[in-house]
Amino acid sequence: MIGAGAVGVSCALQLAKRGVRVTVIDRGPVGGGTSHGNAGAILRAASPVAGPDVIAALPRMLLDPKSPLSIRWRYLPRLTPWLMRFLNESRPSRVRRNADAIWQLGAGAVDAWRAQVRGTAAEDMLRPVGWLKVYESEASFEAARPGLERYRARGTAVEYFDRDSLRQLEPNLAPLFARGALHADALFALNPRRVVEICADAARALGVTFRQAEVSDAHADDTHGTVTLADGERLTADRLVLACGAWSKGLAKRLGASIPLDTERGYHLMFETPERGLNRPVVWEDKGFVLCPMAHGLRMTSQVELAGVEAPPDFRRIERLLPLARRMLPSLAGEPTDRWLGYRPSTPDSVPVVGVSPRARAALFAFGHQHYGLSLAARTGEVIADMALDRPTGVDESVLSPSRYG
């Protein structure tokens, strides 16, 4: 296993539960990548990013310094092939297909997490409080309603709130919001990184070994996979799982597939827990940011920044949204105690890459979970573990497969 984020650790744990001997290699600490700083929502996800509404809003968003989307123009030449595919995925027929493909993992996402943490210290850290979206006006709620109704049609519990009932649900929110929509069956991870660490401890207890080392190369054929570490050491196994999140593209190529993977970067700011806080994560949909009442403070997450994995962070955009966050939650006081940049691993169709390499049966891919990598991690672990053992996975493997890129 290469990568010890939410996805890699879940794959390792699920393999170990099925009796497989696993070594996980990560250049950093367990859960220290993008899985460290996300918004903690575990949703039965089925929304691709690309769609006609995003394309229509794109020019306005790119010009507005407070919008949640930005591109570093210097990165544009490298991003262009990804962007062209992204535009192509915005056609309604593709959006429907991509939503169905994400749902292959999304449908069982919450149940898989419940099962994965059962009996561990993480059980109490996944709270059944839902994921709340709030809207300033009836008009913005009505614009979002078709997407919410699509979730309902899949059997997801989405409950609607008016101004008064919203106030009862979240009494400390400023009375700015006309409507709310609660994904009621979503879980909230009070500390996503800690949850991943606890799952890693559960894996260790089943014999999984964790090593801190950079993987500089990888090879596989139909029977074996080999990784080369930065110090030249080589390790061989019957199966190799690539779960390096946004950093998977180069190694995937070495393992036989050219995947159009890029990153949607996102930021967070941490604050001391306010005196009159929130009961659950709340997304101000019109402004594109989230306030999350983590166990260790209030977290504000925001932004899709298209700039690759190498450019330095630019915290100015999320900081520009801070006055809005203070308007939304008037008791949010003080300056940020921490700032963080994370890298969502994103394919143009928003569909995770979960499956066997088209050119080497011993290599499996588990990355590209974009905005929903925490949500989909445990279910991905189950699917990868079953695939590695040639057992039925219960999903339509073709729509998640790396082979869809030829």
Positions in the binding site for ligand FAD (CB under 6 A): 2-8, 25-28, 32-35, 38-41, 214-215, 243-245, 247, 266, 268, 301, 342, 344-345, 367, 369-375
The answer to whether 363 and 402 are in contact (CB under 8 A) is no
Contacts for 100 with CB less than 8 Å, ≥ 6 apart: 46, 399
Contacts for 37 with CB less than 8 Å, ≥ 6 apart: 192, 193, 268, 299, 301, 340, 342
The tokens 């166990």 sit on which residue?
295
Smallest separation (angstroms) from ligand FAD to the CB of 374: 3
Q: Which is nearer to ligand FAD, 110 or 169 (CB)?
A: 110
Q: With H, G, I as helix, E, B as strand and everything else as coil, classify residue 403.
A: helix
Q: Which two tokens stand for residue 136?
A: 């300033």
Smallest separation (angstroms) from ligand FAD to the CB of 317: 12
Q: Which is nearer to ligand FAD, 178 or 311 (CB)?
A: 311
Position of minimal CB gap to ligand FAD: 373
Smallest separation (angstroms) from ligand FAD to the CB of 37: 6
Q: What are phi and psi of 246, to 5 degrees?
A: -65, -10
Smallest separation (angstroms) from ligand FAD to the CB of 280: 12
The answer to whether 301 and 290 are in contact (CB under 8 A) is yes
Q: Which is nearer to ligand FAD, 30 or 332 (CB)?
A: 30
Handedness of CA 265, 216, 355, 197 (dihedral sign): negative
Q: Which helix (H) or strand (E) element contains residue 214?
A: none
Q: Which two tokens stand for residue 366?
A: 């588990």
Spatial strand order in the sheet of 215-220: 215-220, 225-229, 234-237
Q: Which is nearer to ligand FAD, 2 or 158 (CB)?
A: 2
Q: Which is nearer to ligand FAD, 2 or 122 (CB)?
A: 2
Smallest separation (angstroms) from ligand FAD to the CB of 350: 11
Smallest separation (angstroms) from ligand FAD to the CB of 285: 14
Smallest separation (angstroms) from ligand FAD to the CB of 175: 26
Q: Which is nearer to ligand FAD, 2 or 332 (CB)?
A: 2
180, β-bridge pairs: 134, 161
Give whole-number Cα distances, 303 to 158, 265, 300, in Å: 24, 7, 10
Give the residue among 31, 383, 376 at the shortest CA–CA distance from 203.
31
Smallest separation (angstroms) from ligand FAD to the CB of 301: 4
Q: Which two tokens stand for residue 108?
A: 């069982």
The tokens 């009961």 sit on which residue?
279
Q: Which is nearer to ligand FAD, 180 or 245 (CB)?
A: 245
Q: With H, G, I as helix, E, B as strand and everything else as coil, classify residue 317.
A: helix
Q: Which is nearer to ligand FAD, 339 or 359 (CB)?
A: 339
